[in-house]
């Protein structure tokens, strides 16, 4: 039994994707995250795209101002 959250990519007996689980302290319960990997990571990919856009716009503005 681990005291930390474990992130893994596997399938359960019903074919659902199991991405992570954590044992809850003080009880016999396990918190399980069941979602498609794309759904879970979609927020991070959107944030990554937005940060890249901000970086490109910032560099462009700096180059235009410095000329």
Q: State the pTM of this model.
A: 0.46
Segment 17-41 shows an average pLDDT of: 74
Q: Which residues pair with 6 in a beta bridge?
A: 21
CA 31 → CA 6, 11, 20, 36, 65, distances in Å?
10, 16, 8, 16, 52
- pLDDT attached to residue 3: 66
pLDDT, residue 39, reads 72
* Residue 41 burial (CB count, 10 A): 13
* pLDDT bucket at 37, cuts 50 / 70 / 90: low
Predicted pLDDT of residue 6 = 66
């Amino acid at each position: 039994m681990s005291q930390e959250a474990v992130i893994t990519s596997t399938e359960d007996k019903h074919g659902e994707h199991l991405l992570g689980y954590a044992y809850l302290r003080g009880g016999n319960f396990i918190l399980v995250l069941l979602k498609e990997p794309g759904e879970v990571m979609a927020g991070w990919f959107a944030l990554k795209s937005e940060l890249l856009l901000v970086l490109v716009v910032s560099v462009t503005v700096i180059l235009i101002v410095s000329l």
